[in-house]
Amino acid sequence: MANILIVEDDETISEIMKLYFEKEHTVFLANDGIQAVKIMKEKELDLILLDLMLPKISGETIAQMAINKSIPVMMVTAKNDEEDILNGLKLGAVDYITKPFSPKVLLAKVNNFFERFQKEKRRYPYVDLQMNALVTEGKNVYLSSTESRVLYEMLKEPTKVLSRKELVERVWKGQNISPRIVDATVKNLRKKLEGSHVKIRTVFGKGYHVEVN
């Protein structure tokens, strides 16, 4: 059972979604952006099902806030242009579902997501983005939210060298930040990972990759 926030300003749609989801999960409802932010601050959430066309605070803003807090987001919206879908996925959504949709299919997609997530977590070591920690069989190494996202991206493909530019695109979503921020984050990570089975290596002129012993 997971904690799911449904952010939808159409009460009929939100009640139908709640009816299907509350049989298997704990469901919270928000019908505008302000309510969504309040619930995000008060509750431990495992997933947000997010409409993009919301009153008071836009869905895109809510999505960015959620992703910054490492809360997975599935966008469920009537915005169905190819550009809208690509922008949603680039923002970091784990899926993009267009309206009209089948509640049964949506529930199946959500359950499949949680099943995949749990399988990933069982492979040690892994980064828990909810807890902001590197989880190993021996102990947890607690990280900042940015550090956890950097290490998460590295552990996806341990042998691949990620350049500073790639890390900025994946973690900072292309924000205009100095490469020194990446280097500083990696430096802090290295200190925290001392004594663990995970080490970050520098490939001169190319970037970073991880080694798992």
Q: How confident is the model over 27-40, as pLDDT tens digits? A: 999 999 999 999 99
Q: Which distant-in-sequence residues (6+ apart) come within 8 Å of 137 by Cβ?
A: 124, 125
- For residue 125, whether the previous peptide bond is cis, meaning omega lies within 30 degrees of 0, is yes
Arithmetic mean of pLDDT, 10-15: 95
- The one-letter code for the residue type at 28 is F
Classify burial at 211, counting beta carbons within 10 Å of its beta carbon; exposed 0-12, middle 13-18, buried 19 or more.
exposed
Arithmetic mean of pLDDT, 184-211: 94
Q: Which pLDDT score is estimated for 35?
A: 96
| Cα 173 from Cα 141, distance rounded (Å) | 25
pLDDT digits 0-9 by tens, 99-128: 999 999 999 999 988 887 766 555 678 888
With 60 as the cut, is the pLDDT of residue 87 above it? yes
Q: Which pLDDT score is estimated for 159?
A: 84
With 70 as the cut, is the pLDDT of residue 191 above it? yes
How confident is residue 98, by pLDDT bands cut at 50, 70 and 90?
Answer: very high
- Output the six-digit token pair for 213: 């012993």
Arithmetic mean of pLDDT, 148-172: 90
Arithmetic mean of pLDDT, 151-175: 88
| CA quadruple 172, 179, 164, 166: dihedral sign | positive
How much is the pTM? 0.58
Q: What is the mean pLDDT of the chain?
A: 90
With 70 as the cut, is the pLDDT of residue 185 above it? yes
- Output the six-digit token pair for 89: 């996925």
To 10 degrees, what angle do helices 59-68 and 33-42 make?
A: 10
